[in-house]
Structure 1
Amino acid sequence: MSESLRTISPVDGSVYVERPLAGATEINKALDVARAAQAEWRRVPVATRQQILRKAVAAFVAKKDEIAAEISWQMGRPISQAGGEVAGFKERADYMIDIAPEALGDYNPGEKAGFNRFIRREALGVVAIIAPWNFPYLTAVNGVVPALMAGNAVVLKHSHQTPLCAERFAEAFEAAGLPKGLFQYLHLSHADAEKLMGDIRVDFVNFTGSVPGGHAVQKAVGSKFIATGMELGGKDPAYIRADVNLDHAVENIIDGAFFNTGQSCCGIERIYAHESVFDAFAEKAADLVSQYRLGSPIDTNTNLGPMVRTSSAAFVRGQVADAIRDGAKALVDPAKFAANKEGTPYLAPQVLINVDHSMRVMTEESFGPVVGIMKVKSDEEAIALMNDSEFGLTASIWTADEDVALSIGDRLQTGTVFMNRADYLDPALAWTGVKNSGRGCTLSKLGYESLTRPKSFHLRTTI
């Protein structure tokens, strides 16, 4: 009897999905089929690929209400917000499809008498994508759509928390008429996922997940000379300067910290506020967070759902308790949130002051509904604190002075610098991280570079 995965819904603790796990036989078959299909697909014109993938996007969006409900039940995002992931999926997919002819076109280094010289982008072959549960479509689409557009085949292994997302991809591609074998999904154990990545028939691995997971990926592919793309999380900072538009900053920073119950790789997890605005910001932030409505994500009035697992909520509770023990002050009364209960994934949001970098809540990735606010006296102090992290995914600067934001941004060790916004991926810009936030790049024209290899043509036309 084969092993199976069981998705426990954070909504009510019920088993929402159960699926058999694939094994060595299924992996072997999927990779053989993928290689054969890719050999034909790489010769299909880019314009034809565009037509098929646009049909797939349309088929996916047509099921948006069903998909949104499934997101809520699988990982706990409020139904009032879950539909936004479908819209974000479409935005990213559309952009990467539209930019493909330019990104994949031949590069001509310039005329040289008697020669025809150019560089062509060639598909890698089979791309394995390992996707997480927290933004199950937005993380996966970053790799799936451009990989196919570039002429590759894709094998997707999705999180056991969100297995229906892999199946929704397959459904959309089938409706669009994507040739068989070009997109496949496998529900796999961790051990078999490592076997998939390590197989000689896999030419690139795209992984989104934890730092330990990233190390496991590197180990799995270590016997091959292939590249990997990895997004491994963050502890993203926000810096509030004295010249900030305070109300705008409060609204957007708090949303950036608590959207999706704080379960976002690029969510704001630590805040540094100039001493002249610290008290006002902290007061307004705590007041706004106290108005959140924690409850069942199926309730349309809820804007803060449960964490994905009880163990995740317990981890954040531990961070908060340790910080308070060490001198932090909690500004939000958990008693205001009736759904907040120990031993469940329902966790009251929290804002902390009197925090510092000796506390886990300011250094460890929380991935939950908590944020600490520190007082700073200068840009220099803020920059030093923002860079004092093992992570470097995004950082945001809240100021009226664009020149200052650019100057500070140049000194930050991060993949993306925001000014007066946060927690958003513009598909026209490279999505990348430094330090333990990973390596590689998705989205934008540059996102196609890791999914292709350059091939130079040097043709002597005059003899």
Structure 2
Amino acid sequence: MTLHQVNSFAAGEWISPGSGARPIESAVTGDIIAEAGNNALDVQAMLNHARAKGGPALRAMTFHDRARMLKALALKLGEHKKVLYDLSFSTGATQADNLIDIDGGIGTMFVFASKGRREMPDAHVYLDGEIEQLSRNGTFLGQHICTSLQGVAVHINAFNFPVWGMLEKLAPTLLAGVPAIVKPATATSYVTEAAVRIMLDSGLLPEGALQLVSGGLGDMLDRLTLQDVVSFTGSAQTALKLRSNPHMLENSIRFVAEQDSLNASVLGPDADPGTPEFELFVKEVQREMTTKAGQKCTAIRRIFAPENHVEAVIEALSARLAKNVIGDPQLEGTRMGALVSNGQKRDVLEKAEILSAEAERVIGNPDNFDVLGADPEKGAFLPPMLYHCASPDAAMRVHDTEAFGPVSTIMGYKDADHAISLVNRGEGSLVASVITHDPNVAREMALGSAAFHGRLYFNNRDSMKESTGHGSPLPHMVHGGPGRAGGGEELGGVRGVMHYMQRTAIQGSPDILTAISQKWVPGAAEIKGPAHPFTRTFHDLQLGETLYSDLREITLADIETFANFTGDTFYAHMDQAAAERNPFFPGRVAHGYLLISFAAGMFVEPNEGPVLANTGLDNLRFMKPVEPGESIRVRLTVKKKTRRNDDYGEVRWHVTLTNKDEDLVAEYDLLTMNAY
């Protein structure tokens, strides 16, 4: 049998394994199927390549350019999923597991591509928060901005998700404009290598944007700078070793960790046997024990149920697990595959032995179980094993020992406060779930335990049909947790991108902030265009281009007509005496929506032209009431431009309404789509 040579991609070249290569075994058969590793990689050349080639090329692109690149990469990976599926079976993963890893990773890229286009500007600077007025007259302002780090992101990934684990880090990194060096776990590196080849062969990535280390990093961490980031997923022991690197500590190099986690699930006190919540709870626990053979950082390790329901949960869970077919992951009837290696199997059994000092095994015998289509002595197979700890308050190891496989421990609790105290003894987790139909129980659990968890997952009969599951990190929400879980926050939409950017406070005049942010700031210079702005294309409009309307008088007849036409006969507009008793109004006043309706008529250009559609208003505020007989004027200024495609772009206009004394009456942002 020819061994698969898992190559590295360094400084633009594929490099085959060399000295220091390690054998990789099939999780299903135990046979050696590949080898990976190379002690001769020039890690400084890799860093130089990323900084000199990949970084500048990515930073030259806007956030939207990078988002489009991510979408194209996701589509390309989607075209080659079967190649990745076929390789992944050797890791012990079933087809259902592959959907989580491969399709889930591709889906994560799509989400970041979408968020990059929708929530980030078509520019090189991300604005964090609103303008801060630092002076009385607004001539000196402040703004927080985020810009791309000018280094490299080193991604050290775990073995359990060779595709998703890479892509969930890579997507926000590339969106931030930072090149990545990916180091997968050796045991499943052959799957990661295939995914990297697909992306590199696509020609979509700039040179130096992505490199791969199949094996050890050597002394790469000792060569990093303040502009670099290390993002790690794995054990707490390894994380401590990496984050304690003296060079990294001395240079305050960013370190993002997602590590060991004693995740918990709580059956609410209201979820009696026979309720939808009880059935849901058992189903969730069974799924988390068996998906990826329990090798998930978010898997349920500790199960908490009301003391009087513990036996019922064990009985129901035993019935569900009895239907769980263990075997060759490629076979149609298999529900749970193998652990990633026999070494991992031994580690799980060692941890299970530690748990057995405080808990009794009530489900699953690792010495006697059936395996479909494979040899349990050669492959890395284990049955789901459930332990019962009768004295959770006195126990210690069930709250600090993670058997990273199909192993969980069930414990009883007396009341909600007791459940909270037990859940929190995990000292920090990625996720805790609570299955309850009682909103008060959910609130109590959130207030008592949210500080100990990166994510709280509540589910019940109302949300169960659409919920994504206890163990499913979503790219929209943060994935991480305090304490034992590592203290990091991956994913989380744009929050995940910020790990690879520097937040900087800039201060200066409105013109200075406008130039840096590429967003017109009130008080900056205004430009008088050559024609009405609604007659000018997206491409031709300039930031700061401004139109002033003529004055328009607001009459009592206008107010009454508007009231009767719309049905808005609120007393402040129709009853003089009542309005005078209101502390906010001098008497009858114009409707706010009358004012902005009139404003549209005062700045509109009615003929067919580049303005294709009005898509909404943002940040509408009414500052000062307008009485009958007063006049208003409108100012319309190009605030921001965002190209959407080759045909049109979004224009954000800053609109102000003032009275004849130049007092601000109303203010808002108008959004239009303009032909390019």
TM over 0.5: yes
* Between structures 1 and 2, the one with greater helix share: 1
Taking the aligned partners of 1:325 and 1:148, their CA distance within structure 2 comes to: 47
Q: Distance in 1 between matches of 2:455 and 2:146?
A: 26
Give the TM-score taking structure 1 as reference length: 0.92
How far apart, CA to CA, are the structure 1 residues paired with 2:355 and 2:507? 63
- In structure 2, relative to structure 1, the CA distance for the partners of 1:206 and 1:96 (3 Å cut) is same
The CA RMSD measured in Å over matched residues stands at: 2.4
Answer yes or no: is 1:331 the counterpart of 2:363: yes
How does 1:248-267 map onto structure 2 within 5 Å?
Answer: 248-267=280-299
On the 8 A contact 2:270/2:436 being kept in 1, the answer is yes
Equivalent of 2:105, from 53, 73, 89? 89
Indicate the residue corresponding to 1:184 in structure 2.
211
Q: Assess, with a 3 A threshold, how the Cα gap between structure 1 residues 329 and 168 changes in structure 2: closer, same or farther.
A: closer
Where does structure 2 lack aligned partners over 5 or more consecutive residues?
Answer: 1-17, 272-276, 460-468, 512-523, 526-676
Amino acid at match of 1:441: E
Q: Does 1:34 pair with 2:36?
A: no
Of 402-411 and 104-113, more deviation after overlay is shown by 104-113
**Change in CA separation of 1:288 and 1:359 when aligned onto 2, cut-off 3 Å:** farther
Q: Deviation digits for residues 404-436 of structure 1, max 9, x if unmatched?
A: 213212221111111124101121111121112
Q: Deviations 1:51-92 (Å, cap 9, x if unpaired)?
A: 22211111111111111121221x211134313322211221
Select the structure with the greater relative contact order (CA < 8 A; seq sep ≥ 6). Answer: 1
Contact kept, 8 Å, 2:36 with 2:186, in 1: the verdict is no
Structure 1 residue 443 corresponds to structure 2 residue 488 = no
Greater shift, 255-264 or 386-395, is seen at: 386-395
Stretches of structure 1 that go unaligned for 5 or more consecutive residues are: none
Measured in 2, the distance between the counterparts of 1:388 and 1:276 equals 22
Cα displacement (A) at 1:354: 4.1
Query: Judging changes above 3 Å, is the alpha-carbon distance between structure 1 residues 340 and 360 closer, same or farther for their aligned structure 2 residues?
Result: farther
**223 and 110 in structure 1: CA distance in 2 versus 1, 3 angstrom threshold:** closer
Letter in 1 for 2:472: Y
| CA–CA distance in structure 2, aligned partners of residues 147 and 323 of structure 1 | 39
The reply to whether residue 9 of structure 1 matches residue 26 of structure 2 is yes
Deviation at 1:306, TM superposition (A): 1.4
Q: Is the 8 A contact 1:319 1:361 kept in 2?
A: no
Bigger-Rg structure (1/2): 2
Distance (whole Å) between structure 1 residues aligned to residue 294 and residue 46 of structure 2: 36
Matched residue type, 1:15:
I
Kept after mapping to 2: 8 A contact 1:235/1:364: yes
Instruction: Please tell me whether the aligned partners of residues 79 and 299 of structure 1 are also in contact (alpha carbons under 8 angstroms).
Output: no
Query: For the residues of structure 1 that align with 2:335 and 2:293, how far apart are their CA atoms?
Result: 9
Change (3 A) 1:47 1:304: same
For this pair of structures, how many residues does the alignment match? 458
Give the alignment of 1:363-374 within 5 angstroms.
Answer: 363-374=400-411
Quickly say closer, same or farther: Cα 1:325–1:430, change in 2 above 3 A.
closer
**Percent identity at matched positions?**
21
Post-superposition Cα deviations, 1:356-385, rounded to whole Å, max 9, x if no partner, equal 443645530111112111121211111111
Which residue of structure 2 lines up, in the alignment, with residue 198 of structure 1?
222
Could you tell me whether the CA contact under 8 Å between 2:359 and 2:409 is conserved in 1?
no
Task: Give the secondary-structure state (helix, strand or coil) at the position aligned to 1:109.
Answer: strand
Are the aligned partners of 1:273 and 1:374 in contact in 2 as well (CA < 8 Å)? yes
Partner of 1:453: 502
Q: Distance in 1 between matches of 2:253 and 2:499?
A: 10
Give the Cα–Cα distance (whole angstroms) in 1 for the partners of residues 33 and 300 of structure 2.
Answer: 30
Scaled by the length of structure 2, the TM-score of the pair is 0.64
Corresponding residue of 2:583: none
Which residue in 2 is equivalent to 1:106?
127
* Higher mean C-alpha displacement, 147-156 vs 61-70: 61-70
Pairwise CA distance, 1:110: 4.3
Distance 1:437 1:254, change over 3 A: same
SS where residue 27 of structure 2 aligns? Answer: coil
Match of 1:67 among 84, 88, 112: 84
Deviation string for 1:416-461 (max 9, x for gaps)? 1111241011211111211121022111221122110013332334
1:302: how far off?
A: 1.1
Structure 2 residue 88 is the aligned partner of structure 1 residue 49 = no
Instruction: Supply the distance in 2 between the matched residues of 1:145 and 1:301 (Cα, whole angstroms).
Output: 35
Tell me, yes or no, if structure 1 residue 289 matches structure 2 residue 321. Answer: yes
1:347 paired residue number: 382
- Residue in structure 1 matched with residue 453 of structure 2 by the alignment: 414
Give the aligned partner of residue 480 of structure 2. 432
Query: In 2, distance between residues paired with 1:284 and 1:177?
Result: 50
Note closer, same or farther for the CA distance 1:356–1:234 as it changes in structure 2 (3 Å cut): farther
In the alignment, which residue of structure 2 is the partner of 1:147? Answer: 173
SS at 1:431's partner residue?
Answer: strand
Structure 2 partner of 1:400 = 437
